Amino acid sequence: MLPVEIKKDIFWVGSVDWNLRDFHGYSLARHGTTYNAYLVKDEKIALFDLVPASCLDEFLNCLKMTIDPERIDYLFVNHVEPDHSGALPRIMDIIKPEKVFCSPIARQALVSHYHREDWPYEVVSTGQTINLGKRNVTFLETKMLHWPDSMFSYIPEDKLLISSDAFGQNWATSERFDDEVDQSMLFSLAANYFANIILPFSPLVQKVLAKVGEVGWDIDMIAPDHGLIWRRHIPEILAKYGEWSAQKPQRKAVIFYDTMWKSTERMSQAITEGLLKEGVSVRVLPLKSAHHSDVMPHIMEAQAVIAGSSTHNNGMMPLVADMLTYMKGLKPQGKIGAAFGSYGWSGEAPKQISEFLQAAKVEIVAEPLRIKNVPTEQDLAACREFGLKIGREVIQRVDV
């Protein structure tokens, strides 16, 4: 890729991964991702963040179109995760920087990852400022957003926030800015990113947003480490982060399930009818076609989580167990839910699902619904009533 000047004498010098399809268990479907790095030319030349080791050659080609890498004075490591620091050992040998700026925890993490105590680390903390010449860089530690080492770097003279993994999206594009792409896709992928990476740390997002407000940073560009750079829709993405991190649910239910011979699927259809009669929006996601990371943005927005499975080998179907495990790790808050499923002779799956939902802090609002073999019309009527009951609970909680 070619370097892009995002502000005067500040350049995007990252790499685009068109082929990446899995991001530590988070499916990127056909979207890929970008690894964004930023070069600032001042009296001291500074490089913010890096790329994975696998993208080093592309990154160096882009960087060399902007500057001789050996002229770089400072490296700023906002986040140690290998997709942003993997190229660091080779880059250190090439650049030989005067200083490597990082948070206190990042220094420990860099040594743990790369086993180099001899690098010229310069530990910085919240509120500290480093001068580059005409510009200054101020830091805000953002611990657990989404690693303990994470921090923001802010350049007030350019009103530029380099935000590490916050405000990102996984999207491989030749465009670099938010106003150059389809807006519905942009915000959909930003929501997907939040739901699958940032959601467990929602309370910390609220604190970081408040802190940014307190320090009074004037921001007219947000440069994340993945995806498009925000220059036109900053109020909107800040508002979305406030909304998503508040985890205020909508009048919506998510049904995910797996089925062997379509009986559990027929149950899901009847449950959907009951929910719709109560005026609840429903998203039905059969797990054979919906990856667990595609389900999470809908769970993030929904009040109710309803999970179904045929009983298989005295337990739930593997895809349902996978989905529940993944959801539990992302810690969605304030959800209600219930379980359902068909069975042939033992019928343990709905009870197991209900217990798993409870362990994930989902409030169970209906007893597990089990139907033997193929549902009758009477059974489907019970499914509709099950949906109506959950729908009433959704309305009661959302419409307060």
Residues taking part in catalysis: 24, 79, 81, 83, 146, 165, 193, 226
Query: What are the strands, taking DSSP E only, across 278-352?
Result: 281-286, 302-309, 336-343
Q: How far apart are CA 75 and CA 73, in angstroms?
A: 7
Do the Cβ atoms of 118 and 156 come closer than 8 Å? no
- CA 219, 296, 147, 208 torsion: positive or negative? positive
Peptide bond between residue 31 and the one before it cis (omega within 30 degrees of 0): no
User: 184 to each of 2, 35, 168, 178, 398, how far by Cα in Å?
Assistant: 26, 22, 15, 11, 25
Q: How far apart are CA 124 and CA 265, in angstroms?
A: 55
Rg (CA), the chain: 24
The DSSP result for 172-201, as a single string, is --S--BGGGS-HHHHHHHHHHHIIIIIGGG
Residue 361 token pair: 């802090």
